[in-house]
Each structure stands twice: as C-alpha cells, then as structure tokens.
Structure 1
Amino acid sequence: MASVASSSSFFSALTRSHIPQWGNRIKTTKSNFLRILTRSCLDDSSSLSQAAQYTVNTYVKSGMVVGLGSGQAAGIAIRHLGQQLRTGALKDVVGIPMSVTSASEAAKAGIPLDSYQEGSQIDFAFDDADVIEEGSFIAVIGRRKLHGEESILEKKSILNAASKLVFIIEENQYKGGLEGSIPVLVQSLNWLETAEEIDDMFLGDAEVWRRPSIGQAGPLGGDFPLVTKEGHNLLDVIFTSPIESLAKVAENLDTVKGVSGHGIISKFPCTVVIASQNGLIVVDKLAEKEEPNSPSYKMEKCKE
C-alpha cells in the first residue's frame, strides 16, 4: 500500500484538488459539497469517535429506521445512538443490524431492532468502509475477517436500500489509485474455474486467492475454505498495482459466470465522514454523474 501523507498535507492536498480558487468566492454545483470541521469545534475524544458521534447527531432523526453497520466506527455510532435514545434526544428509532456483532452492540445500547427483509424501508444507514475511491465515492467492504453470520451480500442490500448513506472512515482510507484486495463471492461448485477466469481477466494486475476459515491464506485457500452463510466461497482479488477504476472492476466482475457478488458498492446520494487529526472532513456526493472539471465543492469551517 502506498504511504499516507500527514494530516496537514492531507487537508492541503484535498482542498487544492477539490476547492476552486476564485479569491473569496466559492462556487458550488448540486453534485458535491465539502465541509471541514476543525478540532476546536469538536470535543476532546478521538477523531474516529468524533466522526461517529457527528454522524448520529447530524443525520439520525426521531422516527427513523436506521441501518446499523459493523466495524469500529459503526460500533461507536451505535453506542452513541443508544445514549441519545436513553436521554430522550432521539425517540422511536428502529435499527436494522448488518451483522450479529452490530445486533449485539445495539441490543446492549438499548436500540429497538428489526430484521431486514427485501423491500424494507430504511431511512438512513451508516457503516465503516475498508477504502473509498476519491472522487467516485465508490467503496470497498468485506476485506476484514467476517465474524459470526456477517454477510457481504446482506450488508450491501441494506446499504443500497437506505435513502441516505454515510460511510465513517479515517483519512488514509479515502484516496485515489487504490491497491489491495476486492472480496468476491463465488459459487462453491466449480469455484476454481471462476477464480481462473477472474485471474485471466486481471492478469498482471492482481492475484486471486480463496479465503480460508482457518489457517494461512493462499491461492487454494487451504483445507478449510471459508463458506459464507449463503454457501459461497470468498475470493480475494489482490491488486498489486493501482486500480484505475473501481467501477470498471465491478463491471468486469459482474460479467463472470459463477460470481454471486463482491465488496464494491456504489450508492448515491452518499456522504463520507472522514476522521482526521485536525478535525472532520465531510464530503457529500448527491448525484452519480457530474460535469467533468466543474467547480463542485463547498468548504465550510467552524468558527474558532
């Protein structure tokens, strides 16, 4: 993986890349907005805690059905949501957990729960992401070890069903030229043929390994391959060179016979709350397509 710049250089690079400079004027379009909240505007907790709490305080409203993600940031957000319900700051919120872990966290936090059914109305959802491609807002989920009954397919269904979606990440997870793995769910029967087709598709750019349930990872996944609750094997397509376009990777994977799903998700409208040592960066993408090279970001800074 490429090395990550310091927080100050990250802020500088982000604003140089995305904020058009016209003196004191800042133009916007309807597509994207960028807000920077400095640390002095926030409490003294960790930046990830600030991002999680900001997400709940800003986007969750009384009466909502909320998709509850899994991961460190989502866990913090779930606990904060429970606290808001206990104090009466929020009322009548129902959670749809994306994993056994998030269901357990929510139950301990006192959040009323319901299960996801196809066609369920979800007003808002928050989740961690492994990485998010800068500019496109396309995310990768499922790189981490799956726990319990965690399902990439079910998580994607909940995220896609939500009317509004927020990913909570740290600054080194939002960048262009991504490397690393893309999780791909394949039918267990004839999985090797599917793996070989994917390998041929990305020949020279990626290696394809079957993920094991225990033991060391490798091309064949060992003697104990991971089997998801839907009965799929999980392949990790490990890119060794920067990915030019996650959208193109997803499009190619969707054409392969035997592929049942993958960890690439593209959902709009989408907001990314980025935890930084200097504060929070909040970036919204409201439309899937925008005019190239258009001035499309707005920066707001809290008063000191």
Structure 2
Amino acid sequence: MIVYVESPAGGGGGVKERCEIVEEAMASALLEVSMTASAAVRANAQVQRLGDLRIGEQIGFRSMQMRGVKLAIPQPLRSTRVNNSVRISAVTAESSSPVFQDSLKRAVAKKAVELVKPGMIVGLGTGSTASMAIEELGKLIAAGKLKDVMGVGTSYQARVLARQFGVKTVDLNDVNVIDIAFDGADEVDGQMNLIKGGGAAHTMEKVVNTMAKKTVILVDQSKVVSELGLTFPVPVEVLPFAISPVLRSLVALGGEPEIRSALRKDGPVITDLGNMVVDVRFPGGIKDPADLERRINMIPGVVENGLFVGIVETVLVATKDAEETVIIDLADYVKNLQQAKNDAAEEKASSS
C-alpha cells in the first residue's frame, strides 16, 4: 500500500512525501519514509555547514557513506598539554579507529565507577560505554572493594551484563531511590543536553536517570557537539498501532522520520517494552531541545523520545593528552575547544 505524508512548505502549500507500508506476517505495519533527493542534498549541505561543531573546518574532515549520500563528518579531536592545560587539535585517521574509541570509553568507565560507594543502588545504562562501566563495577565488587552494591538495569542487555560480571540487580519497582546512574550518550552539547537511544533503551534510561540522585554521562571526545541533531537523529519510541499518525506528526514538526530496521531479522527494531523506534532527523539542527522534547512527547502514540534535557548533572569526557588518556569535565572540555578555535583563528589571521 502506498500512502503520502504531507509536510509543511513555504507559501502555505504542502509537500507530499512518498511512504511505503510493508505488511509483515505477525508484525505491525512497517512504514518506511523515503528520503528524497532534495532532502539528501539538504542534509549534505547541513553537515558541510557544521562550522564550529567539534572545531569545524580547523580539524579537517573525513568522508563516510550515509543513506547513499557522501557526507563530510568532522574527525575526533586530540588534546595536548601546554602550560599545564589541555589543548585540542586534530587527530589522525588511526586515532579515530574503533580501537582508539574503545580505549577512551574504557578509561572513562574506569574513572566513573570510582564514584560508587558501598551500599549504593546504581543505575546501569545501555550501550558500549555503559557496558564497560558495568564490567568495571563488577571488577571492583569481585576484588572486595565494593560491598552491598545493587544495580538497576535500563535494558535486558544491561541486566544480562550485570549478572555476567557479578553485579546483583534489583527491579526498578523495588527501590525508592537510585544513588547514582551511569550512562552513555550519542550526542551531548555544552549545556549537557543529550541525544540518547542508539540502543533503543532511552525510555527506561530516562526513567532511571530521572530517579537518580546523580546521573553521570560517560562519553569520548567524538560525542561532544555544538548543537544537537546535526549528525545524529532523535530516536522516538512509538506504540506500533500508532506508527502512521505519529510519522505524519513528526513530519509536521519539520523532521525526517524513518523507522529503525533490525540488523539480524527482517522488519523493524522492537524495544524491550514491545514498541517500535523511529529515528527522526532534523537537518537544520535542534535550536531548542527542551521545546522539541516536549512537542514530540505530546504526540499521541509516542512513548518517549531520546532528547534528555535538564536531567544530567555531570558529563565526563575522555580525550587524549599526547599519548595519555585524560578524563575531564564537559565544561572544561568545551572551554578547551573554544580556546583551540580562537588559537586557530589567530594563527590564520597572522599568516594572512
């Protein structure tokens, strides 16, 4: 069945975007919003206009393929220490490898679990960095350095990993408070606003992180951005029977929605709560994360979205200081980014 979703356009008219509904046996209708050629051009232009995102043109660009469109994505940053302060510069292609990223994630995970005290109830996030934090927490428990620690998992994966690494878990409904929660993020801006949900667990993550006395977000340097939404879509968890009206509403908000497809099965990703996930791109970026979070959640059929605004108190960033891995607070990292930008501008001015 072919349907058309009408999205707002200039001059009071509407632009109809072609959507295909593919019926799956014993599954809800799967609606896949096609990205038009013009939308691809707009997305490519937006990425190339990232400007000061991760220092923009000063750090060089690498190419990648996304939806068949060649996009220019900033490379991660490396820091160097000058006069006892961390300075930011571009990294090589080797430094942006998965091994390099994993080393940063491991370092920030080890640093984070040092905040856990005996007897605490700990929120256990979902994703690659959070998984390493669960493993490091298990090592401290096994070594006898932490006792009577209980974990509250934000997903089936988190609970399985906790049991694997010796972290006892408890159901969320059986606790009144969570002392500290650890989680990762797909993007974080300078105001500690986040996009989460790459692991399709953002609904439970938001519940756990909101309950926690302190939420600590663990990221490597590649996740820090100047504006949310320019490179990573906003995940939206949706009730399966409401998928079509929700998609129309997301288009009306200026988004480009696409149902997330599973990698090792045909059809859509289904969350631990039995819902579908729609990834929504906003080519112009997200100017007001709090307003967009509220507006998306007001759409009937939406369970929760991946914008986290005003929840996080601490963001730890793993970066490189020459050959040493350094863990610094987000505010200090952003300050270093701005200093690097100013230095690059001064160098350019002096050489011209």
Q: TM-score with structure 1 length normalisation?
A: 0.71
Aligned 8 A contact 2:76 2:221 in 1:
no
1:63 Cα shift? 0.6
Give the gaps of 5 or more residues in structure 2: 1-46, 48-72, 90-101, 333-352
Alignment of 1:10-159 (within 5 A): 12=87, 46-57=103-114, 59-117=115-173, 120-135=176-191, 137-144=192-199, 146=200, 151-159=201-209
Give the Cα–Cα distance (whole angstroms) in 1 for the partners of residues 215 and 121 of structure 2.
Answer: 12
After superposition, where does 1:207-226 map in structure 2 within 5 Å?
207-213=256-262, 224-226=267-269
2:239 matches 1:187: yes
Give the Cα–Cα distance (whole angstroms) in 1 for the partners of residues 164 and 76 of structure 2: 38
Other-structure match for 1:253: 296
Contact 1:85–1:111 (Cα < 8 Å) also in 2? yes
CA shift at 1:7, angstroms? 1.8
Residues in 1 aligned to 2:233 and 2:117: alpha-carbon distance in whole angstroms: 35
Q: Matched residues in 1 for 2:207 and 2:213: separation?
A: 12
Count of residue pairs brought into register by the alignment: 239
List per-residue Cα deviations over 1:90-131 (Å, max 9, x = no partner).
Answer: 111111112222222211221121111176311011011111
Of residues 327, 331, 335, the one that matches 1:280 is: 327
* Partners of 2:173 and 2:162 in 1: CA distance: 18
Cα deviation code 1:7-39 (max 9, x no counterpart): 23895479xxxxxxxxxxxxxxxxxxxxxxxxx
Q: Indicate if the aligned counterparts of 2:217 and 2:312 stay in contact, CA closer than 8 A.
A: no
- 1:159 maps to amino acid: N
**How far did 1:214 drift?**
5.0
Aligned residue type for 2:247: A
> Equivalents in 2 of 1:81, 1:227: separation in Å?
29
Query: Secondary structure at the residue paired with 1:60?
Result: coil
CA distance in 2, matches of 1:215, 1:99: 19
Superposed CA offset, 1:140-175 (max 9, x none): 11124x4xxxx4322211111111110110112112
Cα separation, 2, equivalents of 1:284 and 1:63 = 30
Kindly indicate which of the two structures has a greater share of residues assigned to strand. 2
Task: Give the Cα–Cα distance (whole angstroms) in 1 for the partners of residues 270 and 127 of structure 2.
Answer: 21
Which structure features the higher share of helix residues?
2
Asked if the contact 1:95–1:113 (Cα under 8 Å) also holds between the matched residues in 2, the reply is yes
CA shift in 2, pair 1:229/1:280, >3 Å: closer
Tell me, in whole angstroms, the C-alpha distance in 1 between the residues paired with 2:221 and 2:300.
Answer: 36
Q: Distance in 1 between matches of 2:154 and 2:144?
A: 25
Q: Report the equivalent of 2:277.
A: 234
Task: Return closer, same or farther for 1:241/1:166 CA change in 2, 3 Å cut-off.
Answer: same
Decide whether the 8 Å contact of 1:270 with 1:284 is kept in 2.
no
Task: Give the whole-Å Cα distance in 2 for the aligned partners of 1:122 and 1:275.
Answer: 25
Distance 1:215 1:5, change over 3 A: closer
Give the C-alpha shift of residue 243 in structure 1: 2.1
| Partner amino acid, structure 2, of 1:271 | T
Structure 2 counterpart of 1:189, which letter? F
SS at match of 1:52: helix
Structural RMSD (CA): 2.7
**Residue 8 (str. 1) matches residue 64 (str. 2):** no
TM-score normalised per structure 2? 0.62
Structure 1, unaligned stretches of length 5 or more? 15-44, 217-222, 286-304
* 2:286 corresponds to 1:243: yes
2:260 touches 2:269 (CA, 8 Å); kept in 1?
yes
Between 1 and 2, higher relative CO (CA 8 Å, sep ≥ 6) is seen in 1
Note closer, same or farther for the CA distance 1:269–1:253 as it changes in structure 2 (3 Å cut).
closer
User: How many angstroms apart in 2 are the aligned matches of 1:75 and 1:259?
Assistant: 27
